[in-house]
Amino acid sequence: MKVHIASASVLLGLLVSSVQLAQAQVAQPGRLLASNCFQCHGTNGKGPGFDDIAGESTDEIYKKLKEFQSGKEGNGIMAKHAMAYTDEQLRLISAWLAKQK
């Protein structure tokens, strides 16, 4: 009986931890999506690397991403990245990067 209670306590602790982690990620939904940008644009879009995109307006970042997605801005790696996201995901990425200073 004590083994079952201990096991249940451990499982409950793991469940609570998982829920807290999920809530933290949902609280900043664009952060996880934008994490791929660091490879070229640096942590949170602050460089070093290619364009420093942190702090640009949400609308400007979104517009650029949509241009890459549509092929207006070439057929390079940014076009490939942008094509992988939905409009809603692009908006979340744009909003996250715009908040970075």
Q: Is there a contact between 65 and 79 (Cβ–Cβ < 8 Å)?
A: no
pLDDT score of 40 = 86
pTM above 0.85? no
Domains annotated for the chain, with CATH where assigned, are 29-99 (1.10.760.10)
- Output the 3-class SS for the chain: CHHHHHHHHHHHHHHHHHHHHHHHHHHCHHHHHHHHHHHHHCHHHCCCCCCCCCCCCHHHHHHHHHHHHHCCCCCCHHHHHHHCCCHHHHHHHHHHHHHCC
Report residue 7's pLDDT band, with 50, 70 and 90 as the boundaries: low
pLDDT score of 68 = 92
Lowest mean pLDDT among 22-31, 37-46, 48-57, 67-76: 22-31
| Dist. CA 41–CA 92, nearest whole Å | 17
Segment 44-60, tens digit of pLDDT:
777 777 778 888 999 99
Mean pLDDT of 77-86: 91
